Structure 1
Amino acid sequence: MNSEDDPCHSKHHIDSTKSPLISAIMFAAGIFGNVAALLILEIRRRRDIRAGDTCRRSLFHVLITSLVVTDLAGTCLISPLVQLSYSRNMTLVGMSSESHSVCSYFGVSMTFFSLATMSLLFSMALERCFAIGYPYLYSRHVTMKCAYIAIPVVFLLCMLFCLLPFAGFGTYVQYCPGTWCFIDMNPEGNEDRVYANLYATLMLVLVLAIVACNGFVVYQLFKMFQRRRRNGGSVMATTRSSGDRKAMSIAEEVEHLILLVFMTIIFIICTLPLVIRVYLNTIKKGKESHRMDLIALRFISVNSIIDPWVFILLSPSVLHFFWGSICQPPLGIFRGSTYKSSIAKENSLANVEVYRSTFECTEQFHSVETL
């Protein structure tokens, strides 16, 4: 829909009854949550270095750090514009009425960070998928260099997609109350409509791919657990780091899977409303529902706020504390000492074998003396 046909697309002043309180709370929660998540990641990294365990989780650590940094950058680059708009009582279009540069910047940023965060989550799910399902292939071909190449490529592709409206394929418009700009979800032009549908389809494909990867990991972990029960011991999945094999328990994989699954659920909840709105606007070509569009935009913006809090609450250290407080008996499957307990079991079995061998030798010695 053209700007001149819709007052929300072209208005220059914000309604005085609108309060910036909700936006300010969202901004503060996003900053605090992402900074706290980065601190937790840094503490864990230093702890692993002190423990001499620098390779085991490095790739997953890089990906999740990139995700948190992306969420923090999105919050810092987008939310201040909303507060500035409220403080000046001017819409994003009103702050640059001739060029619409502020609105375009806001729209590009919203589109870029929504695509980038979803793509990084897919990278994390794919990394876990290969690590658990195809350990040999993972050890031979998946390295830290892959992450350092994949992350910039993801950002570059997302940015190229976001810049397509400046080439005439798609458009960014303002939404009520004038503090949001995003892809026009109900455009008149065929190119603009195709662009909106392409964005929604990309998001939907990423969601389905992430769900498929997580489902595959759950299936592989279930098979590992079944083998463990059949063997009567702890089945250890071997991790891969340049030929050096280290033991990793199923519980450790489950901890990271829990984090990944909850992040995926949050992404789905925050993304699907926008995808549904785009498809509905394509099917029902009529007057725009700015209230529903605004709800969908708020859902996708809330994602970068909730995401770090999910990481904080479901990080392995917090899970260890939670299970240690609830379950007084030492539940090795939920504690960080699972690896140590597994090693202890192996050592105890080794001690039994040594004792058995010693006992057999003693028996043979006594038999010789008797003869």
Structure 2
Amino acid sequence: MPEISVHYDTPWCTSGCSVASSCIPYSRRSQLYGSKATPTNITCVEKNLSVATSVISMTVGILSNSLAFFILLKSSKRMPLKSKAPFSVFATSLVVTDLLGHLVNGSVVIYVYSLHKHWETFDPHGRVCNLFGATLVFFGLSPLFLGSAMAIERCIGITKPFYHSTGLAFRHMNKLLSVIWILAALVAALPVMLSKSYRVQNSRSWCFYNLDEPDDWLDVFLPMLFALLGLLALLFSIVCNTVTSCSLLLSTMQRKRHSRGTSYHVEMICQLMAIMLVSCVCWGPLLVSRMTLGKSSDTLLFLVRIATWNQILDPWVYILLRKAVMKKFYLMLQRCCRPKSRKPMRWQHSFLRSSRDSKFGLLQQQNPL
């Protein structure tokens, strides 16, 4: 970075609701917070509203992921299929990762807002900013990688069941989980290792890569790497889920699987498709914007807020898309849509088979007279 001339090296003071003013040289501020970062004078009402929003978001995320964790833990104890065990391990890891993401990132956000976003006062050396940026990257990539791994595992389980039962043991799942988390951690720590610290963004409420004016090729490469890895994870999920769904459909139509086993496969596929859809909607715009490099700071902040909803919506996939919940929803929908004169239908576990045999019809077949 070129040396800044002396006449710019003047004190830069900030003020806020209740924090004393602090002054640091412009050149030091530019290195830590970016040349376009300016102090934000917010009122106490705006600060309290921002803190309240962050607290509500963090609380909802923690409660949702905790509920999903206990549901997955309970379902794993009465697991009917051995082939469902690896999927349950990945799903539980995804929920735990999202839970930790809310705890860590939410706590830092509340801390930043509580100090009126005066980074120069509480973080003169940029350590909190580096930690914040690294955790955002880590807890952003980890769910995408885990969703991709779940899609690949289900694709192997449906298309290559023999290899899945013999070649994918629990130790392999644990190793794969370790690789996923280590890869996400390396990408998150890469800017610090390359002496390209994370920067406070223009809204001064979060830290990320240097997105304003790239100083060198690393400032372009690091955001592109983040976006490319995220898009590749989404692409793998889309391809694997499509192959799995087509294979399951073909297999069921040929009646090669029993209805009981098929019902659990369908449950997992529905959950995977929902996770993929949530990830694409939440993370897709942000990742694509980093590839095009054509978004304003306000738009970027909005896209980041959308991406954070991925960790809130993920657990509701496991809460709502369970077989018991889908059965109740099916029966409720059936009562609303069918005429009152018709007898209630019986839920069956088979996929794309006749799951609507009325009790009246069954009685007539048994007693034709």
Same fold (TM over 0.5): yes
Distance change (3 Å), C-alpha of 1:193 and 1:171: farther
What residue number does 1:358 align with? none
**Deviation (angstroms), 1:137:** 1.8
What residue number does 1:350 align with? none
Q: Is the 8 A contact 1:13 1:178 kept in 2?
A: no
Give the distance between the partners of 1:163 and 1:211, measured in 2 at CA. Answer: 28
Give the distance between the partners of 1:4 and 1:136, measured in 2 at CA. Answer: 55
Q: Is the 8 A contact 2:65 2:315 kept in 1?
A: yes
Give the distance between the partners of 1:124 and 1:107, measured in 2 at CA. Answer: 26
Give the distance between the partners of 1:309 and 1:30, measured in 2 at CA. Answer: 10
Give the distance between the partners of 2:174 and 2:59, measured in 1 at CA. Answer: 30
State the Cα deviation string for residues 307-327 of structure 1 (Å, max 9, x = none): 112221112232122223334
Greater shift in the superposed pair: 144-153 or 212-221: 144-153
Give the distance between the partners of 1:180 and 1:253, measured in 2 at CA. Answer: 40
Q: Is the 8 A contact 2:260 2:350 kept in 1?
A: no
What residue number does 1:294 align with? 301
**Deviation (angstroms), 1:184:** 2.5
Counterpart check, 1:5 vs 2:5: no
Counterpart check, 1:265 vs 2:277: yes
Q: Is the 8 A contact 2:34 2:200 kept in 1?
A: no
What do you get for the CA RMSD once the two structures are aligned? 2.4
Runs (4+) off by over 6 Å = none
Q: Is the 8 A contact 1:107 1:183 kept in 2?
A: yes
**Deviation (angstroms), 1:171:** 4.0
Give the distance between the partners of 1:41 and 1:134, measured in 2 at CA. Answer: 25
What residue number does 1:217 align with? 244
What residue number does 1:332 align with? 348
Q: Say which of 245, 248, 253 aligns to 2:265.
A: 253
Give the distance between the partners of 2:94 and 2:111, measured in 1 at CA. Answer: 26
Higher helix share: 1
Aligned residues: 309
Distance change (3 Å), C-alpha of 1:4 and 1:198: closer
Q: Say which of 90, 104, 107 aligns to 1:63.
A: 90
What residue number does 1:303 align with? 310
**Deviation (angstroms), 1:7:** 1.9
What residue number does 2:104 align with? 77
Give the distance between the partners of 2:286 and 2:333, measured in 1 at CA. Answer: 39
- When normalised by structure 1's length, the TM-score is 0.77
Distance change (3 Å), C-alpha of 1:92 and 1:206: farther
Distance change (3 Å), C-alpha of 1:47 and 1:91: farther
What residue number does 2:126 align with? 100
Matches within 5 A, 1:182-197: 182-186=208-212, 187-197=214-224
Matches within 5 A, 1:29-40: 29-40=60-71
**Deviation (angstroms), 1:178:** 1.9
State the Cα deviation string for residues 267-306 of structure 1 (Å, max 9, x = none): 011111111221222xx5xxx7210110111122111111
Give the distance between the partners of 2:323 and 2:94, measured in 1 at CA. Answer: 17
Give me the identity figure in percent: 26
Larger Rg: 1
Give the distance between the partners of 1:177 and 1:194, measured in 2 at CA. Answer: 23
Q: Say which of 157, 167, 170 aligns to 1:144.
A: 170
Higher relative contact order (CA 8 A, sep 6+): 1
Query: What are the ranges of 5 or more consecutive residues in structure 1 without an aligned counterpart?
Result: 229-234, 238-246, 339-371
Q: Which secondary structure does the structure 1 equivalent of 2:199 belong to?
A: strand
What residue number does 2:77 align with? 46
State the Cα deviation string for residues 7-50 of structure 1 (Å, max 9, x = none): 25xx48656434223222211110110011011112212334xx
Matched AA of 1:330: R
Greater shift in the superposed pair: 99-108 or 131-140: 131-140
Give the distance between the partners of 1:176 and 1:4, measured in 2 at CA. Answer: 9
Q: Is the 8 A contact 1:172 1:182 kept in 2?
A: yes
